Chains A and B, each alone.
Chain A
Amino acid sequence: MTKIVNIKKGLDISIRGNAVESAPIDVTPATCAIIPDDFPGITPKVDVKEGDEVVVGSTLFHDKAYPDVKVTSPVAGKVTAIVRGERRKLERIVITPGTSPSTSLDFEVNNIDDRTRASRLLLDSGLWAWMRQRPYDIVPNPGVTPRDIFITGFDSAPLAPDFEMMLDGKQKELSAAVALLKKFTDGDIYIGIHEGSCLEAIDGVETIIMNGPHPAGNVGVQICNVKPVNKGETVWTMDALTLLRIGKLATSGSLDMTVTAALTGCEVTEPHYINTIAGADMKSVLKGAVNNDDIHHRVISGNVLTGIPVGEEGYLRFPYRQVTVIAEGDDFAEFMGWASLSPQKMSVNRSFPGHFFRHKFCPDARILGGRRAMIMSGVYEKVMPMDILPEYLIKAIIARDIDRMEQLGIYEVAPEDFALCEYVDPSKLELQKIVQEGLDYLRKELS
C-alpha cells in the first residue's frame, strides 16, 4: 500500500559542491576508527586490547546495561590504539587495516525463523547498533518490541548522497532484510521514498511517497506524518543503506562494512563519490581532494546541518555516507555584515538580495550574529513539517519540565529534526544541543 505525504514547510538549502554521479573512487584508509559517541545509548565496555588482531564483525565493545548489544570492527586488521579522554571516557578505537581488510566472520544465516535468532544475528554482527529507536533517538533496547519500523529511502539534506545509485539492483538483499525485520514487529515496515524510487518494488512494506523540501527525508518527519510515536511506544528507524547492509548479511552470512560516501562542499575541488570503509580516516579520504587555498577549512563528517566537525585528523563518522568541507570563516573580517546587501549572503529572509537569486551559495561556519533570547516568533514553524510546537517544546526542555515535554511531543523528535530551525534562527540558539540534552535528561530521569 502506498501513502502520499506532501510537505510544504521546510527548506532546501542551495549550496555549491554537489558530488557528481560517476563511478566512485576507491579509497583505502590508512586507519579506521569506531567512535562510541556515534552509538548513543550505549555505555561502552571494551572487549579488545591494543595489538589484538580483529576481522570484520569482531566485537570491539559492548553495552554495559545490555551486554548483547555490540559494536563490531568494520575492518580486518590490528587494533593500534584505544584512546581515552577525560575521566577515562572511551573516545575511539583505532584499527589499522591488514592485508585483506574485508575478511569477515561467518554468521549463521540459515533457519532464521524466529525473533530470537533474528536478533542474535543482528546483535552479534553489530548491525543492531546501526539502528535507532524513537523515543530518544538511541540504539534500540533489545528488550522492547517495536510498534513499527520506519526506514528512510533517501537523504534530503544539503548535498546529500543519492541512495538510488547504491540501492539499484539490490532488490534481493533488500527483500531479505525486510523479511528479517518482519520478525521483530507485529506492526508494519514503512519506507519513505521519492516517487519512482527502486525501493517501490520491495515486497512486504508500506511505502510513503514524500514530496517536498528537506526535511522530507528525515525519518522523524515521515513517522510524524504517518503514525506518530505516542508515549510508551517504540519505533525503530534506520536508513535504506543500513537495510541493504542487513540484507547482504542475511543473504551471504558475511558482513560488508564498505561504504559509499559523497565528498561534497565548496572547498572540495571536484566533489565526487568514494568507496571506502566505515570509520575511514579523513586524511586518506581527503587526500588531494580539498582546495589548496590558505583559508581555514571545516571538515564535517555528514552534512552541513547535522554533521560533526571532525577536522582533517578526524574520522568518517556514523552514518558514514557524506563528508562536507566548507570554509571555517574565523579568519575573515566582514565589515558591518548585518547591513550587507551582497547577493552572496545566504538567507531565508527577503531583506537579503541573495534570497531572490537562484544561485548556489558558499556559506562558512560563522554563526553570523550573537546569541539572543527568542525574539522573532514563528520562524521555527516555517521549517518544521511536524505537528510539534517547536518553540514551546524547546522552552519546556530548557525548563527541564518532564510533563510538559511529554505533552508537547518530545518522544516524536530527534535532534536532527531541529536542524533547520537552528539554521534559520536569528537568535542563534543551539537547538540540536538543547534537544539532545533534553532527551538524555528524560532518559536518565525515567529509567
Chain B
Amino acid sequence: MKSLRKYLDRIKPDFEPGGKFHAFQSVFDGFETFLFTPTTTSRSGVNIHDSLDSKRVMIIVVLALIPCLLFGMYNTGYQHWLAIGATSFPFWHLLGYGFLALLPRLIVSYIVGLGIEFVVAQWRKEEIQEGFLVSGILIPLICPIDIPLWMLAIATAFSVVFVKEVFGGTGYNIFNVALVTRAFLFFAYPSQMSGDKVFVSTGSICGLGEGAVVDGFSGATPLGQVASNVGDTITLTNIVGDKLSYWDMFLGLIPGSVGETSTLCILIGAAILLITGIASWRIMFSVFAGGLIMGAIAHAFPTPDYPATMLTPLEQVTLGGFAFAAVYMATDPVTASRTNPGKYIYGFLIGVIAIIIRTYNNGYPEGAMLAVLLMNSFAPLIDYTVVQSNIRRRMRRLKAKV
C-alpha cells in the first residue's frame, strides 16, 4: 500500500490547479479518497469523529442489494430456460446467462450516471458524491431485463440531471433518482415497459441459452395476469402455464423486474440494512403495515371488477415491487420524511397507496413506484406538521408564562 500511496502523492500535483490534468481534479480526488481515508483533521468543534461516513453508508446499501442482484441474474436465466422449454436447469449456465444479460445494463447505468456526477462535481469544484453508487445498481434492478440500452441511458441521464443535479446533488433531491428513472421509462416508452414480453429475456447471449420459445409461453408477470383477469377466481401461473405456489412467489422464480421478484432476497437485504441501522425500521415496518392493512381491506370486499381485490394481503406484499420498494426505495433518507413521527405516517401511506393504485386502478398493474414518488412529494408536508407541533409546544409554554 505504501508504494500506491507514494504513487498517488507523486501524481497529485498534476491534478491540482495549474497541473496538466487539473480538469480531472474531482475524479482524482474521488479515487484518492476511495483508496485512502482522507487525512483531513477537524478544524473546529469536536476533535474526534465517528468512523461512519457517506461512503460506508452507500456501500452497505449496495451490499444489501447484492442478494437481489445475484438472484435476479439467476432468475433471468431460469425464466429464459423455462421459456425455451428446457427440462434441466444447469445452475452456472443460468447464472452466466443472467450475468451477461444484466452486465451491459449495469455498465450503462453506472457510466451515464457517474459520468454526469464526475462532470458536475468538477464543474462545481466539489468532491464527488457517493449517492449514485446506490442509484446505479438500483436502476437495472427495477427495470425489465429486455429494456433497450439506449432507453436506459436516456432515462438515467434525465433522472440524474433533472432530479438530482439541478437541486444541488446528493442530499438535496426531492424525488428518488432511481424511481424517477423508472417512471420516465414507464411514461415515455410504455410499450417497452409493460405487457407480457419485456420481463423475460428470450434471445440467446454469447451462445448461451439457444432455443426457440415454446408454445403457450406468456411472459406476463403475476400482477399483469391479475390485471387482465376475468371471472370470480384468480389462478396465477408461471410463464409456461403451470400454477404458481405461494413458495414460488416468495422465492421469486417468477417473471418481473430483475431485482424485485425474490421476497426472500429482499428480506436478507432488509436484515442487513436494519442490523447496521442504515435504513429506518420505522419506514420499513410501516410500509408493510400499510400494505397488509389495505390489502386486508381490499380482500374483505372482493369484486371481479377489480381482480386484484381477490389477492390475499400476503400475496399483495409478496408480489410485484412492493417489498423491494418498502426496503430499498421508501427508506431512501433524502427523499423520505426526516422526523421520527413523520416516518410512520410516510411509510404507512406508501403501503396503503401502493395497494390502492394496484387494486383500484386497472390501468396500472403495479402501484409501488407511483406510491413512493407521490409520498416523496408529501414528505416535506408531513415533516412540516411534525415540526409545527414542536413549535406549538414551545409557543404554548411561552404563552403560559405571560
A interface residues (Cβ-Cβ under 8 A, vs B): 13, 15, 228, 230-233, 298, 300, 304-307, 309, 324, 326, 328-340, 345-352, 354, 363-378, 381, 387-389, 391-392, 407-409, 415, 419, 422-428, 430-433
Q: Lowest 4 CB-CB distances: which A-B pairs, in order?
A: A369-B53, A373-B171, A337-B37, A432-B45
Interface size on B, residues (CB 8 A): 61
User: Does B276 interact with chain A (Cβ within 8 Å)?
Assistant: yes
Which residues on B sit within 8 Å (CB–CB) of A347? Answer: 50-52
Inter-subunit contact A349/B50 (CB<8 Å): yes
Q: Besides A368-B37, A369-B38, A378-B339, 14 other CB < 8 A contacts?
A: A298-B41, A300-B47, A304-B48, A334-B36, A338-B56, A346-B48, A365-B41, A366-B42, A370-B40, A377-B337, A387-B393, A408-B387, A423-B46, A423-B49
Q: Mark B56-84, 1 if CB is under 8 A from A, else 0.
A: 11011000000000000000000000000
Inter-subunit contact A407/B52 (CB<8 Å): no
Inter-subunit contact A305/B47 (CB<8 Å): yes
Which stretch from B180-188, B210-218, B315-323, B394-402 is at the chain A interface?
Answer: B394-402
Select from chain A the residue with minimum beta-carbon distance to B173.
A373
Name, among A340, A346, A374, A377, the residue most crowded by chain B CB atoms within 10 Å (CB to CB).
Answer: A377
User: Does B34 interact with chain A (Cβ within 8 Å)?
Assistant: yes
Inter-subunit contact A408/B398 (CB<8 Å): no
Tell me, in angstroms, the Cα distance from A88 to B130 when the chains sit together.
44
Inter-subunit contact B37/A349 (CB<8 Å): no
Inter-subunit contact A335/B398 (CB<8 Å): no
Interface of A is mostly: loop
Chain A to chain B contacts (Cβ below 8 Å), 7 pairs: A334-B36, A365-B42, A365-B47, A376-B333, A415-B45, A419-B46, A423-B48
Using known A-B contacts A331-B39, A338-B59, A366-B41, determine if residue A375 contacts B51 with beta carbons closer than 8 Å: no
User: Does B149 interact with chain A (Cβ within 8 Å)?
Assistant: no
Tell me, in angstroms, the Cα distance from A348 to B40 when the chains sit together.
21
User: Does B103 interact with chain A (Cβ within 8 Å)?
Assistant: no
Inter-subunit contact B51/A367 (CB<8 Å): no
Q: In the complex, how many angstroms separate the beta carbon of A309 from the nearest chain B beta carbon?
A: 6
Inter-subunit contact B44/A336 (CB<8 Å): no
Which residues on B sit within 8 Å (CB–CB) of A333? Answer: 1-2, 5, 36, 39
Inter-subunit contact A349/B277 (CB<8 Å): yes
Using known A-B contacts A351-B276, A363-B48, A407-B394, determine if residue A369 contacts B401 with beta carbons closer than 8 Å: no
Select from chain B the residue with minimum beta-carbon distance to A378.
B340
Inter-subunit contact A426/B41 (CB<8 Å): no
Q: Mark B365-402, 1 if CB is under 8 A from A, else 0.
A: 00000000000000000000001001101110110010
Which residues on B sit within 8 Å (CB–CB) of A378? Answer: 280, 333, 338-340, 343
Inter-subunit contact A432/B46 (CB<8 Å): yes
Cβ 8 A contact of B340, one of A364, A381, A422, A433? A381
Which residues on B sit within 8 Å (CB–CB) of A304? Answer: 46-48
User: Does B85 interact with chain A (Cβ within 8 Å)?
Assistant: no
Cβ 8 A contact of B51, one of A230, A331, A337? A337
Inter-subunit contact B36/A375 (CB<8 Å): no
Select from chain A the residue with minimum beta-carbon distance to B40.
A367
Using known A-B contacts A333-B5, A373-B170, A381-B340, determine if residue A368 contacts B47 with beta carbons closer than 8 Å: no
Select from chain A the residue with minimum beta-carbon distance to B1.
A335
Which residues on A sit within 8 Å (CB–CB) of B277? Answer: 349-351
Which residues on A sit within 8 Å (CB–CB) of B60? Answer: 351
Name, among B44, B51, B54, B60, the residue most crowded by chain A CB atoms within 10 Å (CB to CB).
Answer: B51
Which residues on A sit within 8 Å (CB–CB) of B340? Answer: 378, 381
Tell me, in angstroms, the Cα distance from A367 to B48 when the chains sit together.
7
Inter-subunit contact A419/B45 (CB<8 Å): yes
Cβ 8 A contact of A338, one of B42, B49, B55? B55
Using known A-B contacts A367-B40, A377-B338, A432-B44, determine if residue A336 contacts B34 with beta carbons closer than 8 Å: yes
Which residues on B sit within 8 Å (CB–CB) of A366? Answer: 37-42, 49
Interface of B is mostly: loop
Which residues on A sit within 8 Å (CB–CB) of B127? Answer: 370-371
Inter-subunit contact A377/B51 (CB<8 Å): no
Tell me, in angstroms, the Cα distance from A365 to B40 when the chains sit together.
8
Inter-subunit contact A338/B37 (CB<8 Å): yes
User: Does B289 interact with chain A (Cβ within 8 Å)?
Assistant: no
Name, among B56, B59, B277, the residue most crowded by chain A CB atoms within 10 Å (CB to CB).
Answer: B56
Inter-subunit contact B41/A305 (CB<8 Å): no
Which residues on B sit within 8 Å (CB–CB) of A232? Answer: 398
Tell me, in angstroms, the Cα distance from A211 to B40 when the chains sit together.
36
Select from chain A the residue with minimum beta-carbon distance to B38.
A370
Tell me, in angstroms, the Cα distance from A432 to B57 when the chains sit together.
23
Cβ 8 A contact of B48, one of A326, A377, A387, A431? A326
Tell me, in angstroms, the Cα distance from A382 to B212 when the chains sit together.
58
User: Does B172 interact with chain A (Cβ within 8 Å)?
Assistant: yes
User: Does B265 interact with chain A (Cβ within 8 Å)?
Assistant: no
Tell me, in angstroms, the Cα distance from A426 to B276 when the chains sit together.
14
Using known A-B contacts A350-B275, A370-B38, determine if residue A427 contacts B54 with beta carbons closer than 8 Å: yes
Inter-subunit contact A367/B171 (CB<8 Å): no
Which residues on B sit within 8 Å (CB–CB) of A415? Answer: 45
Inter-subunit contact B171/A374 (CB<8 Å): yes
Select from chain A the residue with minimum beta-carbon distance to B388.
A407
Which residues on B sit within 8 Å (CB–CB) of A377? Answer: 280, 333, 336-339
Using known A-B contacts A333-B36, A372-B170, A373-B169, determine if residue A351 contacts B278 with beta carbons closer than 8 Å: yes
Instruction: Tell me the chain B residues, 140-159 only, with Cβ under 8 Å from chain A.
Output: none
Tell me, in angstroms, the Cα distance from A349 to B36 when the chains sit together.
20
Name, among A306, A328, A373, the residue most crowded by chain B CB atoms within 10 Å (CB to CB).
Answer: A373
Select from chain B the residue with minimum beta-carbon distance to A15.
B48
Select from chain A the residue with minimum beta-carbon distance to B128.
A370
Which residues on A sit within 8 Å (CB–CB) of B43? Answer: 430
User: Does B304 interact with chain A (Cβ within 8 Å)?
Assistant: no
Which residues on A sit within 8 Å (CB–CB) of B168? Answer: 373
Inter-subunit contact A329/B171 (CB<8 Å): no
Select from chain B the residue with minimum beta-carbon distance to A340.
B51
Inter-subunit contact A375/B171 (CB<8 Å): yes
User: Does B129 interact with chain A (Cβ within 8 Å)?
Assistant: yes
Select from chain B the residue with minimum beta-carbon distance to A391.
B338
Tell me, in angstroms, the Cα distance from A202 to B131 when the chains sit together.
56
Inter-subunit contact B41/A228 (CB<8 Å): no
Select from chain B the residue with minimum beta-carbon distance to A333.
B5
Inter-subunit contact A433/B45 (CB<8 Å): yes
Tell me, in angstroms, the Cα distance from A310 to B120 when the chains sit together.
38
Inter-subunit contact B48/A433 (CB<8 Å): no
Which residues on A sit within 8 Å (CB–CB) of B170? Answer: 372-373, 375
Select from chain A the residue with minimum beta-carbon distance to B282.
A378
Select from chain B the residue with minimum beta-carbon distance to A330.
B39
Which residues on B sit within 8 Å (CB–CB) of A352? Answer: 51-52
Select from chain A the residue with minimum beta-carbon distance to B395.
A407
Tell me, in angstroms, the Cα distance from A44 to B356 when the chains sit together.
67
Tell me, in angstroms, the Cα distance from A430 to B38 when the chains sit together.
17
Which residues on B sit within 8 Å (CB–CB) of A419? Answer: 45-46
Select from chain A the residue with minimum beta-carbon distance to B5.
A333
Tell me, in angstroms, the Cα distance from A388 to B391 when the chains sit together.
9
User: Does B234 interact with chain A (Cβ within 8 Å)?
Assistant: no
Select from chain A the residue with minimum beta-carbon distance to B279.
A376
Tell me, in angstroms, the Cα distance from A340 to B343 when the chains sit together.
31
Inter-subunit contact B276/A349 (CB<8 Å): yes
Tell me, in angstroms, the Cα distance from A10 to B5 when the chains sit together.
38
User: Does B205 interact with chain A (Cβ within 8 Å)?
Assistant: no
Inter-subunit contact A228/B397 (CB<8 Å): yes
Tell me, in angstroms, the Cα distance from A197 to B222 when the chains sit together.
67
User: Does B334 interact with chain A (Cβ within 8 Å)?
Assistant: yes
User: Does B86 interact with chain A (Cβ within 8 Å)?
Assistant: no
Which residues on A sit within 8 Å (CB–CB) of B46? Answer: 304-306, 419, 422-423, 432
